[in-house]
């Protein structure tokens, strides 16, 4: 689980409490390619603690302040070894192209042209915003951050540009009416064909 990698990685820099980790993840824009939820963060911290990969260094309670105490964690020796493994595990994960629109496409012809066009335009706007954000990050933070972090931001930007091109193609298909057209074969015919298909093996993942 990648949350654990991020936590251990940040704790290798210095001691932190969970909320500080959360701030830092946002500050470094890691949440652009990763779903950050408080629940998952605190759960992962508990797991790491229970497995002795991290340990409480200090518990800060501001006197006369009734806000929750901060538990500041540090990484243990065991944790440093685990970090290494997690890093290579993450680097070995199979990647999957994901986009919410992908899975709508097989059914998009059941949708309404107007509706579909509007929603694709929203996707496009969100995508353009993301590209702009990444450009700003590169300009203002780029020179000061590690090369790897820069490559992450550049990657997000590059993927965003591809997404944008693809969304534009989709919009074109929608406007021309092609996207909403049914298949030239009936579902039954397609199923027959696919069942009897014996061309080159297209294996799964």
Closest CA to 3 of 44, 39, 31, 38: 44
Q: Does 43 bind DNA (CB under 7 A)?
A: yes
Closest CA to 28 of 131, 126, 132, 142: 142
Q: Does 24 bind DNA (CB under 7 A)?
A: no
Q: Which of residues 62-121 bind DNA (CB under 7 A)?
A: 65-71
* Binding-residue total with DNA (CB under 7 A): 24
As beta bridge partners, residue 76 has: none
Task: Decide whether 60 or 103 has the Cβ nearer to a second copy.
Answer: 103
Select the residue interacting with DNA from 9, 15, 19, 173 (CB under 7 A).
Answer: 19
Task: Decide whether 61 or 175 has the Cβ nearer to a second copy.
Answer: 175
Select the residue interacting with DNA from 6, 7, 17, 25 (CB under 7 A).
Answer: 17
What Å distances lie between residue 133 and 28, 29, 127, 160, CA to CA?
12, 10, 10, 11
Task: Decide whether 43 or 197 has the Cβ nearer to a second copy.
Answer: 197
Q: Which of residues 108-167 bind a second copy (CB under 8 A)?
A: 108-111, 115-116, 119-120, 122-123, 126-127, 130, 133, 136-137, 140-141, 143-149, 151-152, 154-156, 158-163, 165-166
Q: Does 203 bind DNA (CB under 7 A)?
A: no
Which residues, 6 or more positions from 128, have their beta carbon under 8 angstroms from its beta carbon?
Answer: 164
Per the CB < 8 A criterion, the answer to whether 101 and 117 are in contact is no
Give CA–CA dist 59/70, Å, rounded. 6
Task: Decide whether 51 or 80 has the Cβ nearer to DNA.
Answer: 51
Select the residue interacting with a second copy from 31, 38, 51, 52 (CB under 8 A).
Answer: 31
Q: Does 35 bind DNA (CB under 7 A)?
A: yes
* Binding-residue total with a second copy (CB under 8 A): 101
- State the DSSP code for 111: S
Q: Does 75 bind a second copy (CB under 8 A)?
A: no
H runs (alpha helix) in the chain: 2-13, 18-27, 38-50, 77-92, 113-140, 147-175, 187-196
């Amino acid at each position: 689980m990648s949350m654990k990698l991020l936590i251990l990685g940040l704790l290798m820099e210095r001691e932190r409490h969970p909320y500080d980790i959360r701030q830092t993840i946002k500050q470094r824009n890691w949440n652009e390619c990763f779903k950050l939820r408080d629940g998952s963060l605190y759960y992962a911290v508990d797991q790491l603690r229970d497995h002795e990969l991290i340990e409480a260094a200090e518990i800060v309670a501001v006197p006369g302040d009734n806000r929750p105490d901060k538990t500041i964690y540090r990484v243990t020796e065991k944790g440093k070894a685990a970090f290494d493994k997690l890093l290579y595990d993450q680097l070995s994960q199979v990647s999957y192209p994901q986009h919410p629109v992908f899975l709508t496409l097989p059914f998009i012809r059941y949708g309404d042209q107007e509706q579909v066009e509007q929603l694709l335009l929203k996707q496009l706007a969100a995508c353009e915003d993301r590209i702009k954000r990444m450009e700003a990050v590169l300009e203002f933070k780029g020179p000061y951050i590690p090369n790897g972090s820069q490559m992450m931001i550049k990657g997000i930007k590059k993927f965003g540009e591809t997404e944008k091109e693809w969304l534009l193609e989709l919009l074109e298909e929608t406007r021309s009416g092609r996207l909403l057209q049914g298949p030239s074969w009936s579902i039954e015919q397609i199923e027959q064909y696919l069942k009897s298909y014996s061309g080159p093996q297209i294996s799964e993942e």
